[in-house]
Amino acid sequence: MNFDYRVWKHVFKLDPNKEISDADLEAICESGTDAIFVGGSDGVTLNNTLDLMSRVRKYAVPCVLEVTTIESLTPGFDLYYIPTVLNSKDASFIVGLQHDAVKEYGDLMNWDEVVTEGYCIANPDCKAADYSNANASLSLEDVVAYARMSEKMFRLPIFYLEYSGTYGDIEVVKEVRKVLDRTRFYYGGGIQSAGQAREMAMFADTVVVGNIIYDNVQAAIETVKAAKG
């Protein structure tokens, strides 16, 4: 197990609001992926988060909570990924919810476990865009500027290009690659096959695979080797 998120090339994102059988969960956790992320954009509660965490914890794989609601925060994860939605029209999703959480938990926090993700949501039709009130109809130049801001202005550890639910534009991914050096480049959205995982992994540092887990677990598992090479 390697807990250094800076070397992860492939991660699975499990949604606490979705059912997964024990057999499929075992296959996912033992697939050779670098980490399991727990997160979703709706229906995430403390109960379903705790349930999924305890099931993933049976396996020797790093387990990360991607925090989308303050109610689902719980100890027990290896790392806490905190999104800031760079292209939100609502300051709550850029710094507001994070401010509320740090006010409440600041004294308890182990900052070594906290990793901030600069999210750029590029699929206007996804739930995450709706939930965070993002201006997700972006040109290539818009996305590249958010990537540059993440690294050069805000020194964020992660820039996350989020196409949740749809396969992204490879030309955009290629251009983002060119402007990121120290900030880690996460790509997520619509990966349904080994070929797509391999294509995105040529440019992104870390490939995130989500929904296909629930539709075709075998196809999901094949993305691991494809992304990690």
Ligand X SMILES: O=P(O)(O)OC[C@@H](O)CO
Ligand Y SMILES: CC(C)=CCC/C(C)=C/CC/C(C)=C/CC/C(C)=C/CC/C(C)=C/CC/C(C)=C/CC/C(C)=C/COP(=O)(O)OP(=O)(O)O
Q: For residue 28, what is the DSSP state?
A: H
73 binding partner (options Mg ion, ligand X, ligand Y, none; Cβ < 5 to 8 Å by kind): ligand Y
- Residue of 38, 102, 106 whose CA lies nearest to 72: 38
37 by Cβ neighbours in 10 Å (0-12 / 13-18 / 19+) ranks as buried
Q: 41 or 150, CB closer to ligand Y?
A: 41
Of 78, 175, 211, 219, the one binding ligand Y (CB under 6 A) is 211
162 appears as a binding residue in the annotation: yes
Per-residue binder mask for ligand X (CB under 6 A), 39-78, x = binder: ----------------------------------------
Q: 116 or 211, CB closer to Mg ion?
A: 211
208 binding partner (options ligand Y, Mg ion, ligand X, none; Cβ < 5 to 8 Å by kind): ligand X
State whether residue 1 is helix, strand or coil.
Answer: coil
Q: List, in order, residues 6 or more apart from 97 with CB less than 8 Å away.
A: 70
User: Which residues within the stretch 56-75 sit at the binding site for ligand Y (CB under 6 A)?
Assistant: 66-70, 73-75
* 109 interacts with ligand Y by CB under 6 A: yes
Residues 100, 84: Cα–Cα separation, whole Å: 13
Rg (CA), the chain: 16
∠ CA 118-119-120 to the nearest 5 degrees? 120
* 189 interacts with ligand X by CB under 6 A: yes
Per CB under 6 A, residues contacting ligand Y are: 15, 39-42, 66-70, 73-75, 80, 82-83, 85, 93, 97-98, 101-102, 105, 108-109, 113-114, 119, 126-128, 131-132, 164-165, 210-211
